[in-house]
Structure 1
Amino acid sequence: MSQPQPVPPSWKDLGKSSSDLLGRDYPFHAIGLEIKTKTPSNVAFRVAGTRDGKNGHIAGDLEAKYTDSKYGTVLTNTWTTTNVLRSQLEVENQLAKGLKLEAHSSLNPEKGINSGLFNLTFKQPGYHARAALDLFHGSNITSDFVLARNGILLGAETNYNVNDGTITRYATALGYSAPDYAVTVHGLSNMRLFSASYYHRVNADVEAGAKAVYNSAASSNGMNLEVGTKVYLDKAAFVKAKIASTGILGLSYTQTLRPGVKAAFGVAIDTQKLNDPTIGGSPHRVGAQFTFEN
């Protein structure tokens, strides 16, 4: 008798373990501050701001999220320092089990620019599918799916132009996921861009991963490789390191100062230009991120 299949990750989350290991917790591009708090009435507020370490530009946003667990509804409103108003409404498991409906809107009152996106997600054991329609530019429909069986993952994505009746973009993916490791191979951009990622939880304190990207359309240097690791020093601190084939070395240290207060520090070093002492600009970068959560 076959075992029940878990719900697989969505298309965008294929290879997520490796992407998070190599991409998150490296705040070397800016100085950032994030504050999160939640009211007894299930309204969560988030205030975030960053100062770019290269040009000094400051950007931020204010987010309010209301969650109604009884009706499976989440409403999120965001106002940015560029005067963009974004709203997102999510309704899950109401019309059918595993069905999620999302409506996204964005408005810039000053420039009169607006956009709207409608997403549909349906997930069941062994199956995860999504579709997206731009309400203001409805000629394109993007859809994807992931099938899972005994740890093997098979996915595909397409973009269909309704007016022309043609597929304008397509991609595929194949992977294998186990409790301690995951391997994913992508064929993107109409099979012109290929990527392979690997993630391994070596033990309770050490994680390792790698990602290789090959662009068949590039005239030179079409291959890029990146490897990294994460080591937990204790329950409240960890360090990360990664190195890319371009010679960029990334280092970071994250410390939980107390419950709800976290600080992260990162540095990116161009190992091919070690004689250049510039810090905070080209070729080396430093940054930090502070998070307060209640």
Structure 2
Amino acid sequence: MPQPVPPSWKDLGKSASDLLQKDYPIHGTSLEVKTLTPSNVTFKVAGTRDSKSNVIAGDIEGKYVDFKNGLTVTQAWTTTNLLRTQVELENQIAKGLKLDLATTLNPEKSTKAAILTAIYKQPSLHTRATVDLFKGPTFTADAVVGHDGFLVGAEASYDVQAGSITRYAGAVGFSAPEYAVTLHGLNLSTFSASYYHKVSKDVEAGAKAIYDTKSTTRGVALEVGAKAYLDNAAFVKAKINNAGVLVLGYTQALRPGVKAAFGLALDTTKLNDSAASTAAHKVGASFTFNS
């Protein structure tokens, strides 16, 4: 039986991370409008108002896709005067090979960055090499090997100018349609374990634990969460961590292409502390229009 292409290094444990991190708009109010033209050009305008600082940040983005030649060009301009350009070329030089050049430029501060990435995917193998051209330069490589659901991955970063390895990590996991388990280790000092379970077609559950040997608390940070579909157009999510922070999320599809999400975070250790209630609890919302 042919082996599928395993997930990339950054997507190991993605099911659990998405369950615990996505669809919780608790830091303010956000709006995203996306439109697609007949010539495969996508325009996106997004903005977020931070509830703590009241600062509004946004960006406008244009994305062109040439499916025939495997070319994607994305350009964006943010309210911080940051210009982002990304050029992707896939399956043209060799089957399974994708080249990605991402650049950023801030004319006001005269800062720039350029990251060149090569991604190669084949059955049982997903590998990536990245060069940060202006920082270091730094060379990063990672690879994930998969067989019958078992996954093994590793990553390392090398600073060319300093002549030293600045980061190394490894991971093992198992992925099945109904559940996934992943273990990560970073620099032999930070370890994490994540678990995802699709209990039924309407219910999902997951958890993540992180242990940092350099942390002053010397404890394990634990977070558990669940997602339940109310119907085909709405779902609710809830998670809580060992610090006592409870986060709730509700997402509703109002009509095709229109989605609203609402989030609430409560510090359960300060429910009776009226003086700290404003800082301890958070509320937010997000609205998405896609046509």
Considering the TM-score relative to the shorter chain, is it more than 0.5? yes
Structure 2 SS opposite 1:17:
helix
Query: Which letter does structure 1 place at the counterpart of 2:253?
Result: T
Query: Which letter does structure 1 place at the counterpart of 2:202?
Result: D
Name the CA distance, whole Å, in 2 between partners of 1:166 and 1:111. Answer: 29
Partner residue in 2 for 1:287 = 284
The superposition leaves residues 137-185 of structure 1 with CA deviations (integer Å, 9 ceiling, x where unpaired) of 3531011000001100000000012234432210000000001000000
Structure 2 SS opposite 1:287:
strand
Shift in Å, 1:225: 0.2
Q: 8 Å contact 1:279–1:285 — kept in the other structure?
A: no
Unaligned runs of 5+ in 2: none
Partner residue in 2 for 1:156 = 154
Name the CA distance, whole Å, in 1 between partners of 2:141 and 2:277. Answer: 41
Are residue 76 (structure 1) and residue 78 (structure 2) matched?
no
Provide the alpha-carbon RMSD of the alignment: 1.3
Partner residue in 1 for 2:23 = 25
Q: How does 1:196-207 map to 2 (within 5 A)?
A: 196-207=193-204
Name the CA distance, whole Å, in 1 between partners of 2:96 and 2:165. Answer: 27
Name the CA distance, whole Å, in 2 between partners of 1:65 and 1:156. Answer: 32
Name the CA distance, whole Å, in 2 between partners of 1:28 and 1:279. Answer: 17
Name the CA distance, whole Å, in 2 between partners of 1:192 and 1:18. Answer: 22
Shift in Å, 1:70: 0.4
Structure 1 SS opposite 2:279:
coil
Shift in Å, 1:135: 1.6
Partner residue in 2 for 1:54 = 52
Partner residue in 1 for 2:174 = 176
Are residue 268 (structure 1) and residue 265 (structure 2) matched?
yes
Query: Which letter does structure 2 place at the counterpart of 1:110?
Result: E
Are residue 240 (structure 1) and residue 241 (structure 2) matched?
no
Query: Which letter does structure 1 place at the counterpart of 2:149?
Result: G
Name the CA distance, whole Å, in 2 between partners of 1:231 and 1:278. Answer: 34
Name the CA distance, whole Å, in 2 between partners of 1:74 and 1:242. Answer: 36
Q: How does 1:31-46 map to 2 (within 5 A)?
A: 31-46=29-44
Judging changes above 3 Å, is the alpha-carbon distance between structure 1 residues 281 and 40 closer, same or farther for their aligned structure 2 residues?
farther
Judging changes above 3 Å, is the alpha-carbon distance between structure 1 residues 39 and 223 closer, same or farther for their aligned structure 2 residues?
same
Name the CA distance, whole Å, in 1 between partners of 2:278 and 2:142. Answer: 39
Shift in Å, 1:35: 0.4
Structure 1 SS opposite 2:280:
coil
Partner residue in 2 for 1:106 = 104
Are residue 12 (structure 1) and residue 10 (structure 2) matched?
yes
Shift in Å, 1:218: 1.1
Q: 8 Å contact 2:270–2:277 — kept in the other structure?
A: no
Percent of pairs with identical residues: 60
Q: 8 Å contact 2:19–2:227 — kept in the other structure?
A: yes
Shift in Å, 1:96: 0.4
Q: 8 Å contact 1:278–1:284 — kept in the other structure?
A: no
Partner residue in 2 for 1:85 = 83
Q: 8 Å contact 1:53–1:281 — kept in the other structure?
A: no
Query: Which letter does structure 2 place at the counterpart of 1:133?
Result: V
Query: Which letter does structure 2 place at the counterpart of 1:283?
Result: A
Are residue 227 (structure 1) and residue 224 (structure 2) matched?
yes
Partner residue in 1 for 2:135 = 137
Shift in Å, 1:55: 1.1
Shift in Å, 1:279: 9.2
Farther off after superposition, 90-99 or 280-289? 280-289
Name the CA distance, whole Å, in 2 between partners of 1:101 and 1:249. Answer: 41
Partner residue in 2 for 1:193 = 190
Name the CA distance, whole Å, in 2 between partners of 1:12 and 1:158. Answer: 13
Q: 8 Å contact 1:105–1:116 — kept in the other structure?
A: yes
Aligned length: 291
Q: 8 Å contact 1:279–1:286 — kept in the other structure?
A: no
Partner residue in 2 for 1:117 = 115
Farther off after superposition, 133-142 or 283-292? 133-142
**TM-score if structure 2 supplies the norm length?**
0.98
Structure 2 SS opposite 1:282:
helix
